[in-house]
Structure 1
Amino acid sequence: MKEKIQALINEKKFSEIREEFRNLNNVEISDLLNQFDKSELIIIFRLLSKDQSADVFSYLEPEQQEIIINAVTDRETEVLFRNLYFDDMIDIIEEMPSNLVKKILKNTNSEDRYLINQFLNYPENSAGSIMTTEYVDLKKNMKVSQAIKEIRDTVEEKENIYTCYVISEDRKLEGVVSLKELITSDDDVTIESIMNRNFVSAHANDDQEVVADIIKKYDLIILPVVDIENRLLGIITIDDIIDVIEQEDTEDFHRMAGISPVEETYLKTSAFTMARQRIMWLVVLMISATFTGRIIKSYEDVLQSVVVLASFIPMLMDTGGNAGAQSSTTVIRALSLGDVEIKDIFKILKKEFLTSFIVAVVLAAINYLRLITLTKTSLDVALVVSGTLILVVIISKVIGAFLPIVAKTFKMDPAIMAGPLITTILDALTLSIYFKFATIFLSGMIK
């Protein structure tokens, strides 16, 4: 499609480009525009209708949005941002450099400027920072017929009309009523008689992850946001929550891999930035690995006497790290989904202990048979390795489950207790247990 549009631009067949766009939705058009350079991008964008351009603009990459804002006139900027949904406008402004923010604010009306400045003052990643003010609000003494007329008259200005909010004169949230209830009720019925007073809401300063949990728990597609006096400030819609879930999951994956979270996409993040975000954890893990080196050095006499012990170190360390990673990943996921809480710590540890015992016994039995049959290892050494394996797996799984809960207790992200960090801790424990067993049970072989 890009090649076709490029050819039409070169031939200046702009009417045919418009015709091509009629067969595409706004997301597909934005994906197409993201592939063009500056000059072609501006040409194509100016071919869009006023209504279409706002929707397409909201889906463009920040770099393309900057190019367009720099290129269009003040009047075009005013029209463009007037047709954007308010939450999309806030998202765009947050990504723009200061000189373009000034241009945008200059070309918005005083009411919008006030709201924009208010939204930008909410804490980052809070409910207030992702909400929109484009909701339907009704009064409880309204008749159903009046409410439906109100929705018809303002529908173009609202992002969501399927849930309406009943507010008092001082804007306190008193109830909610769905569009379905409105259109199935008699015209002369009052809103107060059909509104639902049993509703859930979020506070403007609540973290966006808390908001996502509420929407998931109550199976909502929209959530009202209120202040400490229960005055309605805005709403958060499901499309914004999907973005939040993606962002939070990405942060967790990065932390579990020992990488500082990044906001840019992979290809748009410079090599220097990536190196800076990865090197801190690598340095910490590298230095912490000196503990394992010291443990090995302190048992040099054991290794020199029973050289074969060294060959089993990688297997034991890998198994311990993998066992701990399994538990930590499972518990971190359960914590993020709300399946378990901090108060469930003893239930979690009990379950992980029982699980680890079963796994450890099976692994040790398989390993023992492997050593005495395939590698012809002596029975004493095979028993030490297999006995170590049992203890290592049990301890690794319990610690792997315990550390994320500790992190959660101290208001830290549990994901930092996964991956490389927990593996480094367990490596040191594994070696200590292994050499202690060897010292006790192979004393006759050690000179």
Structure 2
Amino acid sequence: MKKDLENIVYLIKEKRYTEVRKTIINFNSVHIGELIEELIEELDVSEAILVFRMLPKNLAAEVFNYISSESQEKIISSITDKELEYIIEEIYFDDMIDLLEEMPAHVVKKILKYSNVEERKLINEFLNYPDYSAGSLMTIEYVDLKKDMTVEEALRHIKDTGLNKETIYTCYVTGKRRKLDGIISLRKLILSDYDIKIKDIMKKDIVHVNTNEDQEEVARVFRKYDLISLPVVDLENRLTGIITIDDVVDVIDQENTEDFQRMAAISPSEEEYLNTGVWTLAKNRLVWLIILMVSATFTGHIIKKFEDVLQSVVILTAFIPMLMDTGGNAGSQSATLVIRSIALGEIKVKDTLKVIWKELRVSLIVGISLSFINFLRIYFIEKVSLYISVTVCITLLFTVVLAKIVGAVLPIIAKKLKLDPAIMASPLITTIVDAASLMVYFSIARAILHI
């Protein structure tokens, strides 16, 4: 891609525009979009617009979907009304909704100028769906059939209307008042006899979602049933639109990014890192850092409470970092696995006891192994007294068990409370486990060392 960009930049500077056009029209539309993004950064915006105008109209409309909202705004502000009108006519309805959500008011007004009354009504309806819901993801560009059609009639209907549909591989059978009666694949239609009725070969067991369903649940349904499209219905089971796999891939990417941010104790942001302001990044991180800093003061209070133990046996202090780090790491391992399993739908709230039982057994194996290795190191290599070595190793066992159970249970509790399980990730679990491990450590020290 870098070599292509350098070549295009060279040709533009040499004003060899015919060669530029011959070069770029053979590119994949995604690559052309990336190229235009790079040209906007490398050269003047006008040069990128020049390249965009060299594209055939249908290719230009397709490429438009693969560039960032910032670049889309620059292009819309620079091209003629006639060019914009063609793009708006050619892009899919759901992509236009996404475009309108990202653009400033003056650009939205310019776009809406080329939509008729019916389209504006639909646009307003789509924009009123809750953010991150199935309704906000769906498109109205699907193939609908009637159950009394024959296969021949259905295929003719697909040929007549399918060109402007986002997908034709799955067709939706609707009855009175757009009620969803069934679905049928294009493959099934092609392989069936022409005189067979659609109602005799359609599938009636339909997987669908409601318009208000959360986008994370939509992604889970796609993954579970291996779908390429999914019908969206309202409360009366009327077909209002479909969601296609390309939109769900974006959702999965967005949800994964959000989980990573939460697990790192950062407030989620949809902005790309390099496009996000310094103050915004600081604000997203500062709130959680303050919460964790304040909660970490409990650890200091615990150490202060057991100050007499530390003064009596100063060497106990040397093992505090190891115990706290091991506990935090052990808890993070369990939390990461459980959070991911919850996201994939593998663990439900009802599985809490199963998770605790599994993590208890795992933690005992891990804890005993770590304690045994640690005892050999402390007692035989570092020559620490037997009682202190035993104190540290017993504490380590209890810490690992406690950490793994806490790390596994907290995300499930968050799920039960309808919170994002990812917030119960490494930083928060580490803070809780640190305080608990210190309590255990000093309590065991008092009991064994008789302090």
Do both proteins adopt the same fold according to a TM-score greater than 0.5, normalized to the shorter chain?
A: yes
| Residue 174 (structure 1) aligned with residue 174 (structure 2) | no
The match for 2:393 is 386
Identify which of 131, 141, 144 aligns with 2:148.
141
| Residue 23 (structure 1) aligns with | 26
Q: 8 Å contact 2:334–2:407 — kept in the other structure?
A: yes
Name the structure 2 match of 1:58. Answer: 65
1:11-50 equivalent positions in 2, closer than 5 A? 11-37=14-40, 38-50=45-57
| Amino acid paired to 2:21 | R
Q: TM-score w.r.t. structure 1 length? A: 0.98
Aligned-partner Cα distance in 2 for 1:402–1:195: 44
| Structure 1, 305-314 or 434-443: larger mean CA deviation | 434-443
Report the secondary structure of 1:261's partner residue.
coil
Tell me if the contact between 2:25 and 2:55 (Cα under 8 Å) persists in the aligned partners: no
Alignment of 1:180-259 (within 5 A): 180-259=187-266
Contact 1:292 1:431 in 2 (8 A): yes
Who is 1:320 aligned against? 327
Bigger CA drift: 27-36 or 2-11?
2-11
Corresponding residue of 1:106: 113
Residue 441 of structure 1 and its aligned partner are, at CA, apart by: 1.1
User: Given residue 181 of structure 2, which amino acid in structure 1 is its aligned partner?
Assistant: E
Residues 75 and 107 of structure 1 are in contact (CA less than 8 Å); yes or no, is this contact kept in structure 2?
A: no
Q: Which residue of 2 aligns with 1:8?
A: 11
Which of 283, 305, 308 in structure 1 is aligned with 2:312? 305
What's 2:374 paired with? 367
Q: Is residue 2:440 matched to residue 1:424?
A: no
Number of residue pairs aligned between Structure 1 and Structure 2: 444
- Aligned twin of 2:416: 409
Measure, in 2, the Cα distance between the counterparts of 1:22 and 1:331: 48
Contact kept? 1:388, 1:437, Cα under 8 Å: yes
Root-mean-square deviation (CA, aligned residues, Å) is 1.0
| Matched letter for residue 420 of structure 2 | D
Give the equivalent residue in structure 1 for 2:270. Answer: 263
Distance in 1 (CA, whole Å) between partners of 2:156 and 2:367 is: 68
Task: Give distance in 1, aligned partners of 2:199 and 2:420.
Answer: 43
Helix, strand or coil at the partner of 1:59:
coil
SS in 1 for 2:178: coil
Letter paired with 2:242: I
Match of residue 80 from structure 2: 73
Classify the secondary structure of the residue corresponding to 1:384: helix
Equivalent residues of 2:140, 2:240 under 8 A apart: yes
Distance in 1, matches of 2:277 and 2:369, equals: 46
Looking at structure 2, the residues matched to 419 and 388 of structure 1 have their Cα atoms a distance apart, in angstroms, of: 21
Whether the 8 Å contact between 2:339 and 2:411 is mirrored in structure 1 is yes
Rounded to whole Å, the distance in 1 between the matches of 2:277 and 2:422 is 24
Whichever residue aligns with residue 21 of structure 1, its letter is I
Q: Report if aligned partners of 1:30, 1:60 keep a CA contact under 8 Å in 2.
A: yes
Distance (Å, rounded) in 2 between the aligned partners of 1:261 and 1:32: 29
CA drift of 1:115 comes to: 1.4
SS in 2 for 1:224: strand
For residues 194 and 421 of structure 1, the distance between their equivalents in structure 2, rounded to whole angstroms, comes to 54
Q: Distance in 2 between matches of 1:296 and 1:330?
A: 31
Aligned to 2:172: 165
Query: Whole-Å Cα distance in 1 between the matches of residues 17 and 124 of structure 2?
Result: 39
Is 1:276 the counterpart of 2:292? The answer is: no
Relative to the length of structure 2, the TM-score reads 0.97
Please, which runs of 5 or more residues in structure 1 have no aligned partner?
A: none
Q: Deviations over 1:239-271 (max 9, x none)?
A: 111110110011111001100001011111111
SS of the residue 2:98 aligns to? helix
Tell me the amino acid that sits aligned with residue 381 of structure 2.
L
Classify the secondary structure of the residue corresponding to 2:243: strand
CA distance in 2, matches of 1:249, 1:411: 18
Identity of aligned residues (%): 55
Partner-residue secondary structure (3-state), 1:234: strand
